[in-house]
Every structure is written in structure tokens, then in C-alpha cells.
Amino acid sequence: MTDASQTAVAARPLRRDAERNRKRILASAAVLFAERGVDIGLDDVARHAGVGVGTVYRRFPDRETLIDELLDEKTARVESLAREALGADDPWSGFAGFLEQALELHAEDRSLKQALLVPTRGKERLAAARARIEPLVAELATRAQDAGELRPDFRFEDLPLLVEMVAAVSDATHETEPGLWRRYARLVIDGLATSRTGPGDLGADALDREHLVDALCTSARER
């Protein structure tokens, strides 16, 4: 893979001011995408970066180019998480640990879900990242199942929808109670284990009624 600053191969380097603006745009997009997802107005990105809209659209002909460039660093973190997990001693803690860490990345960055899960998002780079990650998690799941710890009726195709589920919680509550998703992640992971006994510990407390109302209103407003 060549240097990250040259999108097209052997493109003539940008003028100094142009390169500076390009960096600013990427930095602003990273912040805003993480916070509000990849479908925000590029006008907002331009304003945040202190450049005109025209500049954004000139540098990134469409939203997907911008996404492709921005998110491939983030997906690389998911990939290395999966590789580490494959090296873990215990197959179950490898699998469950990976899942929890991946969910943490999703909770911190809304755009990650859209980039990793939606196959039409981004361009070649993102597609390649997805293709690298998939066999890794499939292997993680198989090992945990062979060890008898992950329920046998789980299939690795379930993962995107599990992410979708927990992400629905973090989207709804990240303003009100940013760590609450862990409670529901724990619940899901408990449901994935072959067996379980005893009271368990969901970790983070449930929301009280007042905060719950806040959260549901906020998430409905955001939509």
C-alpha cells in the first residue's frame, strides 16, 4: 500500500495551501462523522474546517471518497483487534473480548458501523478492509464453538446484526449515559454463551426513569 496522502496513483502533489485544507477537512470530518454518522451535511464539515463548501466537493468528489479515505484507519483497528483475539489462550475470551472491544469502537464512533456493515459505503479500500476482517471473525467464532463455549446455533453472519442491536443502544444513550451500552453488550454476550448460571453482573446500572426519558427523547430528536 502506498503513502496515504496520494489517493490516485502518481497524482501530482497538491499545492501547499490545498494540502493544508485537505488535512483540515479530513480532521473535521473525522470528528463530525464520529459524532453524528457519515450522512451529515458536507456543508457542516466545510464550516467546521473553516473552508468553503466548494473546497470540500472539489477535493472529495462525493461523500463515499471521503468516507473511504477516512475510515480505513479505523477499520484497521478492528482488524488488529481480531488478530490479537486470535492469539488469545482461551477461545471464548478471545471471541467475547473481541466482540466487546469492537462494540466499544462502535460506541465511540457512529460512522464505523456504517463503514463496516454497509457494503455500499466507501470504495475499494473499505471493501478490501471488510474482506480482510470477515475470515478473521469467522475463525474466532469457529474456535469458540469448537471449544464448546459459544452456542452452536450462532453463525458469524449474526455479528453485523448484533452490532446493529448494541449500536442502537449506544446511539440512543451516548449523550445521556455514554457507557450504558456495556450493560446491553453484556446481556447479549451472556446470551451467546453455551451455558450460564448464577446472578451474573451486567456492570453499568440501568438508567433511572428520568434519564431514560431524556435518552429516548434525544435519540428520537436526532434520528
Partner DNA sequence: GTTGAAGCGGAGGCAACTCTCCGCTTGGCG
Partner DNA sequence: CGCCAAGCGGAGAGTTGCCTCCGCTTCAAC
Question: Does residue 5 touch DNA according to CB under 7 A?
Answer: no
How many CA atoms within 13 Å lie on the side-chain side of 146?
Answer: 8
- The CA R_g of the chain, rounded to the nearest whole Å, is 20
CA distance 98 to 3: 29
Interface pick for its own copies out of 19, 73, 146, 164 (rule CB under 8 A):
164
How many CA atoms within 13 Å lie on the side-chain side of 126?
Answer: 22
| Least distance in angstroms from the C-beta of 13 to its own copies | 35
Question: Does residue 53 touch DNA according to CB under 7 A?
Answer: yes
Interface pick for DNA out of 28, 29, 33, 42 (rule CB under 7 A):
42
| Least distance in angstroms from the C-beta of 174 to its own copies | 13
Contacts 24+ apart (CB under 8 A), 26-34: 26/66, 26/69, 26/70, 29/66, 29/70, 30/70, 33/67, 33/70, 33/71, 33/109, 33/110, 33/111, 34/108, 34/109, 34/110, 34/111
The 11-30 contact track toward DNA, x by CB under 7 A, reads ---xxxxx--x---------
Question: Does residue 38 touch DNA according to CB under 7 A?
Answer: no
Contact of 141 with 95, CB cutoff 8 Å? yes
Residue range at the interface with its own copies (CB under 8 A); choices 44-52, 77-85, 91-99, 208-216: 208-216
| Least distance in angstroms from the C-beta of 23 to its own copies | 28
User: DSSP letter at 139?
Assistant: H
| Least distance in angstroms from the C-beta of 217 to its own copies | 5
Residue range at the interface with its own copies (CB under 8 A); choices 7-15, 41-49, 72-80, 189-197: 189-197
The site for its own copies (CB under 8 A) is made up of 39, 114, 117-121, 151-155, 157-158, 160-162, 164-169, 172-173, 180, 183-184, 187-192, 194-202, 206-209, 212-213, 216-217, 220, 223
